[in-house]
Each structure stands twice: as structure tokens, then as C-alpha cells.
């Protein structure tokens, strides 16, 4: 008779919600994944991709079950199974040779978010690379770097309101956040607020599902957010609707900001943003007449050359209208600041003084730069699938194809990036080890224990790097810490909001609310953590460092017929689940009916999207949800889904955001060509 057990767990994927899970295991195999009610925000509901895809991710055909060495051409995915001893010895031998010839900074840890737990996210790995003396990597430019710099320039690292407060808001502005895909559990809170009379505004180039429920949808041109924010600020000034007392007490540089804003009338904003004048007037009137107001800004607005400026302009509106201090007023952001994570957890003190730091977006260019000193001779890819998610996909593949580049890959699946590795190490999924989970979208701290044994010979990231540290002779105590000890080290458990002696005292079917009623947030017990101690609408620090004291608008030089937006998918989390059969569906390109008619296209027609960097072939879905002149293709597809051997990331340019030196995915421009079936 089959042994059926149900265990509590947590979803740590790169998503704000960090859901609590209930996992059914039959004879040691994950059979069913459902939401649990342990996390009061997620309350038993989870997304389809986790419910349908997680069992296949753990046990499917792409799962890595044993260490492997490359035996074919880079990128071909031809490997030979080997023992852990052989794999680790190979890494040690090659790294020792590289360090002897070029020094340890010729080795680069090439990781990003992966699992969001504090152990799985790379704690032991970063300890290892710091001790090794490898190059440092600035990872935020890939995603959320511009958003973070924008927020911190106004408020510092101070948390905004928790999600539950939205139920008490009377105006809710969702700016560049497709919550039905990326923040699913905000939807019932918004609906409760709407029943109480709240007005809902959604700003997004696409009329998303939540936009269908809104009082006002502003389908602006991608990259024009800063113009919209400035124009509404100027109109509020003209209407006499600014909270002058709040501004005088709590804002820095308001007059400079408004002087810049007055250069953008509603009429001019309508032309630049592609919005109707009546809609702009309505948006301004809502800010003027309805309180309390809450603003939620996603990462979508940062993904262009004006990214940080647009986000700063969005956050300026609640400052200028004084929408802080009462329940339901403020910005829903910076929830990571609620968590007492230990700054020394990854042991940054082990990194040698003077170690260089490389922008993660520049790594392909650095790999191919023969003048770089020291050169990059090895990358260690873990918690990341750069071939699928970076801009300029062709450049990434060219770099990873460099024959003398020693590439180590560590993942749960044979991804597009693992196919370029010389050594592949099988990692355990988050259901196979213990971890502690903060969130960047809410305030609930969670913990999980393994629900199954590691599949095949896979190991948790922590154990893989423990073994590597031992193989390299690193005897520091920080490399012998068990997973239980790492969980204890990750969080300041003595924080009075927690009051526990260790992680093990937090039940796996429980959560700790780090922002209970009365918790201080921005302008409600906490002042901005900025040089002035105020919300800095004008930032002298940014002016001095990069000339961006005020947000700037830079028009995009047009070279192709369409803008290409690549938002989150409802079938993948970034590229996770890309190899899961249960979620395999053909990726399509959505376009406006007028654009389709102009090009003689109808739904189902194959088309080529192309620019000077590459081309992809997709089928068209004609929908009025997408604005004119903009195409919509969800991100994260794997190469195997493409008949051209490229995905839409091949079409994304290499220029950077105004702050944070980040990726400009939504500045991609393409032409469209009909094809015959």
C-alpha cells in the first residue's frame, strides 16, 4: 500500500508572495502541491505554475540527478556522468591552475536569485567565493536595481505599508505591476477595498486582468512613466491640491521638482505617453479628491532607459499629496526592510581588500575582453539561467562558447545555460533541504524542513559548497556550519518581534508577522533614512554622483516599427518551469487589432520579430488589451521552444537604465514580418 504523507513547506521562487505550501508525498515522490493557510496573506491559494509544475520540476525529465562532465561541443548538452569526487577534483584542479596563472579574481561566481531562501540563495556559496578571493559581482542591475535606487533616493531603506493595509485605502494606484501574475494575493485585498468604495487605477501598457476591474486604466507608452508622474504633479500644483504643510515638514527639494514638472503639461504628457487628456485629468482629480491613497510600483517601469526616473516620479505623488501617516496611506514597498537578516551572514569580511566588482550584465563582454586584467578564465553558474534571462542573448552564448573558458554549472535542471558547462553539479530543490524564508512582498517570516530526500545524487547548495570548501582546504568554522546552524545564523532571532532562541523554534506550519498592527513604517514612526531625513524629491547625492538630482526623461531613438515588452509569464517564474512538460505551451506575441490589420495579420499567423541583434518566430494573438505600437511576449522561454534557436532576449538591447546601470528589456524595438505556415 502506498505511503501517503502531507507536509508543510514554502515556495521560495522569485516572486513577492512567498506562499505557504501543503505538499503531498507518495512513496517519497511529490504527488500534489497546494497552498496552505499558514501564511495569512497567501491563505491557501497558489499560482497554477507551482501547483501544476512543481512536481515535474522535482521529478521531471530535465532534472539533474548526478554530476556530469562535458563530452561534446559547448551548448550541445552532451555529458558523461561522474562521481562527486571526480567533479570536485576537476574543479579544484582547474581552479588551482587558473589561480596560479591569473589570480583568484579570474574566477567569477555567476549567480542571481534562484530560490529565495537564505540558505538556498547562496550563503555558503558566497562564503566560499569570498574566501577564494574570486571577483565580486553586482547582481542588482539584472532586476530591481534601478527600482531600489529610486526608492532609496526618496526614502532610504525604510519599509512602506504592509499589503493588508490596502483594504483601508480609498485610492489604490498599481503602477507597472501585473498582480494577477506576479502578486496574486493582492487581488482579494483590492476587491475588499473596492467593496468599501475604493477607486482603483492601473498603469500598464497592457490592459491586464486587474486593469479590467479598475476605474481607470492608463495604457501608457513603455518608458514614459516619468512624464506621466511629472505631469500629474504639475496639474496637482495648478489645482492647488498639494499638501503644502506636509511638504514643508517632510520633503526636500519640492520646488525644484515642481519647476521641472511644470515643463510637462497634461497635453504634452498625452502626446508622449499616448494617453487621452480626459484620462489624465481624471487621474489628477483622483489624487486631489480621494484619500487615503496607496501606491504600488512594480519592476516593470524600471525596465527602460528612464526606469529609475519613472519610479521616482510615481513615488513623488504620495509625497506631494501628503498621503502618509494613516492606515491605508503610503507606498507598499521595501518589505525586505522588515526582516532582521544578518548582514554578516555571507561573511563579506573574507573577501580580500581591493577585490573588483563586476556588473552582472557586463560579464559576457568581460569574458570576451582579451585586454581585461585579470581576464575571466572561469564562471560558476548557480541559481541562474543567464542564457534565458539576460539581454543580448547572442552575446551571452558567444561568451559561454569560448572554448578555454572553464564553466561550472550547478542547477536542478539541464537548462540552456547548463548546456555550456564543463562540469555540471546536481542541486537539490527547495523541497529537499531546510531553509528560512523572508519575502520582498510581505512581512511574514517562514521556515521549512525537507519533505523528500534529495533526488538521485543531488545536494543542497549549502552542502555542495561545504564540500568544495573542504576540498580547497578551507578550515574556517564558517564552512563547517550545518544547515540548522546556518538557519540560526541567517536571522537575528533575538529581535523582539521574534523572541526565539533559534530557527528550530519557529514551526514549519507557522509564520512570524514582523509588521503587526502599530508597526512603524515610512512617515508613521519612521523618518526617511536619507541625508536630509526627509523624502528627497531632489537628491543632492544623485546630482553629485551622476547628475540625476531630478528625474530625467530621455526619448527613445526609434529604429523599428514596434516596441517589444517582455513581462512576467503565468507559466514560468523568470525561466523556472521552462523545461516542465506540464507547462509547455507555445509562446505567442500579442498585438493590437489595428496593428494586426495594418500588417494583414490575424490570430494564429506565424510572424518573425527581428532587429539587428536577432530574430524569433512566434504565432500572433490579436487582442485589444495591448496598446498600439507595442508587442507583448512573456519572458523566460527556453531555446528548445524556438525554431530560430533564439528567444526574445536575443532582441533586447544592451544600453542601461538612468540609475543602477540596469537592463532595459522594454526598450527592445522590432519589426514584424508575416510568414507562411
pLDDT range class, residue 351, cuts 50, 70, 90: very high
The DSSP output letter for 205 is S
Mean pLDDT within 196-201: 98
Contact (CB, 8 A) for 461 and 492? no
Burial of 365 (0-12, 13-18, 19+ CB in 10 A): middle
Burial, 447: exposed, middle or buried (Cβ in 10 Å; 0-12, 13-18, 19+)? buried
Q: How far apart are CA 363 and CA 539, in angstroms?
A: 30
Q: What is the pLDDT of residues 130-180, one digit of tens each?
A: 999 999 999 999 999 999 999 999 999 999 999 999 999 999 999 999 998
Backbone angles phi, psi at 507, to 5 degrees: -65, 145
Query: Which uninterrupted H or E stretch holds 80?
Result: strand 79-81
Q: How far apart are CA 359 and CA 252, in angstroms?
A: 31
CATH class of residue range 4-59: mainly beta
Q: What is the dihedral of CA 377, 382, 384, 390, to 10 degrees?
A: 0
Cα distance between residue 347 and residue 355, in whole Å:
14
What's the confidence (pLDDT) of residue 556?
97
- For residue 291, the model assigns a pLDDT of 97
Do the Cβ atoms of 198 and 171 come closer than 8 Å?
yes
Cell numbers placing 389: 534571462
Residues 42-50 have a mean pLDDT of 95
**Inter-axis angle of helices 307-320 and 145-155, nearest 10:** 30
Helix or strand holding residue 672 (H, E): strand 668-674
Distance CA 217, CA 205 (A): 9
pLDDT tens-digit map of 626-639: 999 999 999 999 99
Listing DSSP states for 393-424 in one string gives HHHHHHHHT-TT-EEEEEESB--TTGGG-SEE
Residue 1 pLDDT exceeds 70:
no
Judge: domain 562-674, CATH 2.40.40.20: yes
Q: 71-75: list long-range contacts, CB under 8 Å, 24+ apart.
A: 74/400, 74/401, 74/403, 74/407, 74/419, 74/420, 75/397, 75/400, 75/401, 75/419, 75/420
Residue 293: per-residue pLDDT: 98
First-to-last alpha carbon distance for the chain, in angstroms, is: 51
Say whether pLDDT at 428 is over 80. yes
**Architecture of 148-336+523-546 per CATH?**
3-Layer(aba) Sandwich (3.40)
What cell was used for 89? 577534483
**Taking a C-beta distance cutoff of 8 angstroms, is the pair 211, 217 a contact?**
yes
Phi, psi of 52 (to 5 degrees): -90, -35
Residue 2 has pLDDT above 80, yes or no: no
pLDDT value at residue 333: 96
Taking residue 237's Cβ as centre, other Cβ atoms within 10 Å add up to 17
Q: How many residues does the chain have?
A: 677
Is it true that 68-142+348-438+447-495 and 562-674 share their CATH fold? no
pLDDT of residue 315 exceeding 90, the answer is: yes
Could you tell me the pTM of the whole model?
0.96
The CA–CA distances, whole Å, from 136 to 35, 116, 351, 472, 490 equal 37, 20, 9, 19, 21
Q: Which CATH code for domain 68-142+348-438+447-495?
A: 3.40.50.740
For residue 370, give the 3-state DSSP assignment.
Answer: coil
pLDDT-derived band at 42, boundaries 50, 70, 90: very high
Domain limits, the chain: 4-59, 68-142+348-438+447-495, 148-336+523-546, 562-674
Could you tell me if 607 and 587 are in contact, meaning their C-beta atoms sit under 8 angstroms apart? Answer: no
CA distance 543 to 397: 37
| pLDDT tens-digit map of 222-267 | 999 999 999 999 999 999 999 999 999 999 999 999 999 999 999 9
Write the pLDDT tens digit of every residue in 74-116: 999 999 999 999 999 999 999 999 999 999 999 999 999 888 8
As a dihedral over the C-alpha atoms of residue 310, residue 315, residue 318, residue 322, rounded to 10 degrees, the angle is: -120
| φ/ψ (deg, to 5) at 268 | -65, -40
CA 268 – CA 280 distance, rounded (Å) = 11
Average pLDDT, the chain: 96
Element (H, E) at 607: strand 606-611
Least confident of 204-213, 475-484, 552-561, 568-577: 568-577
SS3 92: helix
pLDDT, tens digit, 9 for 90 and up, residues 359-374: 999 999 999 999 999 9
The continuous run of DSSP H or E covering 48 comes out as helix 48-59
With H, G, I as helix, E, B as strand and everything else as coil, classify residue 579: coil
Neighbours of 70 (CB within 10 A): 21
DSSP 281-343: HHHHHHHHH--SEEEEE-SGGGSSTTHHHHHHHHHHHHHHTT--SSTT-EE---GGGGS-B-T
Whether the Cβ atoms of residue 48 and residue 451 lie closer than 8 Å to each other: no
C-alpha to C-alpha distance for 470 and 458, rounded to whole angstroms: 18
Q: How far apart are CA 168 and CA 291, in angstroms?
A: 10
Amino acid at each position: 500500500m502506498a505511503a501517503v504523507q502531507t507536509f508543510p513547506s514554502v515556495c521560495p521562487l522569485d516572486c513577492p508572495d512567498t506562499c505557504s505550501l501543503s505538499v503531498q508525498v507518495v512513496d517519497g515522490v511529490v504527488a500534489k502541491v497546494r497552498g496552505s493557510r499558514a501564511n495569512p496573506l497567501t491563505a491557501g491559494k497558489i499560482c497554477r505554475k507551482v501547483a501544476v509544475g512543481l512536481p515535474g520540476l522535482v521529478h521531471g525529465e530535465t532534472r539533474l540527478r548526478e554530476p556530469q562532465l562535458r563530452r561534446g561541443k559547448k551548448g550541445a548538452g552532451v555529458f558523461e556522468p561522474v562521481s562527486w569526487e571526480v567533479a570536485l577534483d576537476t574543479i579544484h584542479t582547474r581552479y588551482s591552475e587558473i589561480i596560479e596563472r591569473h589570480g583568484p579574481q579570474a574566477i567569477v561566481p555567476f549567480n542571481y536569485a534562484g530560490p529565495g531562501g537564505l540558505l538556498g540563495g547562496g550563503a555558503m556559496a558566497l562564503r566560499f567565493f569570498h574566501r577564494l578571493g574570486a571577483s565580486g559581482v553586482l547582481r542588482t542591475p539584472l532586476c530591481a536595481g534601478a527600482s531600489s535606487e529610486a526608492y532609496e533616493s526618496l526614502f532610504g531603506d525604510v519599509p512602506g505599508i504592509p499589503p493588508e493595509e490596502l483594504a483601508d485605502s480609498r485610492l489604490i494606484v498599481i503602477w507597472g505591476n501585473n498582480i494577477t501574475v506576479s502578486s496574486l494575493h493582492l487581488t482579494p485585498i483590492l476587491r475588499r477595498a473596492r467593496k468599501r468604495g475604493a477607486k482603483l487605477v492601473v498603469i500598464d501598457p497592457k490592459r491586464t486582468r486587474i486593469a479590467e476591474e479598475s476605474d481607470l486604466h492608463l495604457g501608457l507608452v513603455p518608458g514614459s512613466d516619468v512624464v506621466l508622474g511629472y505631469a500629474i504633479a504639475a496639474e496637482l500644483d495648478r489645482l492647488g491640491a498639494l499638501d503644502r504643510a506636509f511638504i514643508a515638514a517632510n520633503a526636500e527639494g519640492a520646488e525644484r521638482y515642481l519647476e521641472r514638472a511644470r515643463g510637462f503639461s497634461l497635453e504634452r504628457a498625452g502626446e508622449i505617453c499616448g494617453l487621452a487628456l480626459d484620462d489624465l485629468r481624471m487621474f489628477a482629480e483622483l489624487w486631489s479628491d480621494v484619500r487615503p491613497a496607496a501606491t504600488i510600483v512594480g519592476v516593470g517601469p524600471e525596465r527602460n532607459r528612464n526606469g529609475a526616473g519613472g519610479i521616482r516620479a510615481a513615488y513623488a505623488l504620495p509625497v506631494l499629496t501628503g498621503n502618509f501617516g494613516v492606515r491605508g496611506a503610503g507606498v507598499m514597498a521595501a518589505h525586505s526592510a522588515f526582516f532582521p537578516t544578518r548582514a554578516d551572514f555571507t561573511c563579506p569580511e573574507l573577501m580580500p581588500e581591493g577585490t573588483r566588482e563586476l556588473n552582472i550584465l557586463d560579464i559576457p563582454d568581460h569574458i570576451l575582453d582579451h585586454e581585461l586584467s585579470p581576464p575571466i578564465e572561469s564562471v560558476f553558474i548557480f541559481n541562474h539561467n543567464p542564457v534565458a534571462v539576460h539581454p543580448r542573448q547572442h552575446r551571452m552564448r558567444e561568451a559561454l562558447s569560448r572554448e578555454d573558458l572553464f564553466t561550472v554549472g550547478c542547477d536542478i535542471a539541464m537548462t540552456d545555460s547548463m548546456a555550456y558547462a564543463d562540469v555540471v553539479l546536481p542541486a537539490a530543490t527547495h523541497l529537499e533541504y531546510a531553509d528560512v524564508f523572508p519575502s520582498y512582498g510581505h512581512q511574514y517570516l517562514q521556515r521549512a524542513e525537507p519533505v523528500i530526500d534529495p533526488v538521485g545524487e543531488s545536494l543542497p547548495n549549502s552542502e555542495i559548497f561545504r564540500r568544495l570548501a573542504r576540498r580547497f582546504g578551507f578550515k574556517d568554522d564558517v564552512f563547517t556550519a550545518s544547515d540548522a546552524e546556518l538557519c540560526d545564523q541567517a536571522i537575528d532571532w533575538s529581535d523582539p518581534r521574534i523572541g526565539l532562541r533559534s530557527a528550530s523554534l519557529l514551526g514549519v506550519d507557522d509564520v512570524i508577522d514582523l509588521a503587526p498592527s502599530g508597526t512603524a513604517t515610512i512617515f508613521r514612526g519612521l523618518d526617511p533614512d536619507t541625508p536630509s531625513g526627509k523624502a528627497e524629491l531632489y537628491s543632492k547625492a544623485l546630482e553629485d554622483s551622476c547628475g540625476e538630482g531630478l528625474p530625467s526623461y530621455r526619448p527613445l531613438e526609434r529604429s523599428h516599427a514596434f516596441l517589444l515588452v517582455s513581462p512576467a509569464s503565468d507559466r514560468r517564474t523568470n525561466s523556472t518551469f521552462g523545461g516542465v512538460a506540464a507547462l509547455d505551451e507555445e509562446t505567442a506575441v500579442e498585438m493590437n487589432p489595428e496593428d494586426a490589420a495594418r500588417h494583414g495579420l490575424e490570430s494564429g499567423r506565424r510572424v518573425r520579430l527581428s532587429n539587428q541583434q536577432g530574430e524569433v518566430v512566434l504565432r500572433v494573438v490579436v487582442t485589444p488589451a495591448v496598446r498600439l505600437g507595442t508587442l507583448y511576449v512573456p519572458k523566460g522561454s527556453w531555446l528548445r521552444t524556438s525554431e530560430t534557436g533564439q528567444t526574445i532576449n536575443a532582441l533586447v538591447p544592451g544600453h542601461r537604465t538612468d540609475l543602477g546601470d540596469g537592463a532595459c528589456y522594454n526598450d527592445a524595438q522590432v519589426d514584424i514580418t508575416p510568414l507562411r505556415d
